[in-house]
Amino acid sequence: MVYGRRGFGGASDGCLLCGQRCGGSGLCPGCLADLPYQGPACRRCATPLAPAAGGRLCGDCLIAPPPFDEAVAVFDYAEPADAMIQRLKFDGRLVYARILGEIMAIEIERRGISLPRVILPVPLHPGRLAARGFNQAIEIARPLAARFGIPLDRRACRRTRATAEQTGLDAAARRRNLRRAFSATVSLTDADVVLLDDVMTTGSTLESLALAVRRAGARRVAVWVCARAASVRGG
Query: So where are the chain's domains?
Result: 1-34, 36-228
Averaged confidence pLDDT in the chain:
87
Per residue in 122-142, pLDDT (tens digit) is 999 999 999 999 999 999 999
Can you give the pLDDT at residue 98?
95
pLDDT of residue 13: 77
Sites in the chain below the pLDDT cut of 70: 1-12, 53-55, 162-179, 231-235
What is the C-alpha separation between 7 and 204, in angstroms, rounded? 32
**Angular region, 216: left φ>0, alpha ψ -120 to 50, beta rest:** alpha
Q: What pLDDT does 175 receive? A: 58
Q: Which of 38, 32, 127 is nearest to 78 (CA)?
A: 38
pLDDT of residue 5: 31
- Which CATH number applies to 36-228: 1.50.10, 3.40.50, 3.50.50, 3.40.1350? 3.40.50
Give the pLDDT confidence score for residue 52 in this predicted structure. Answer: 72
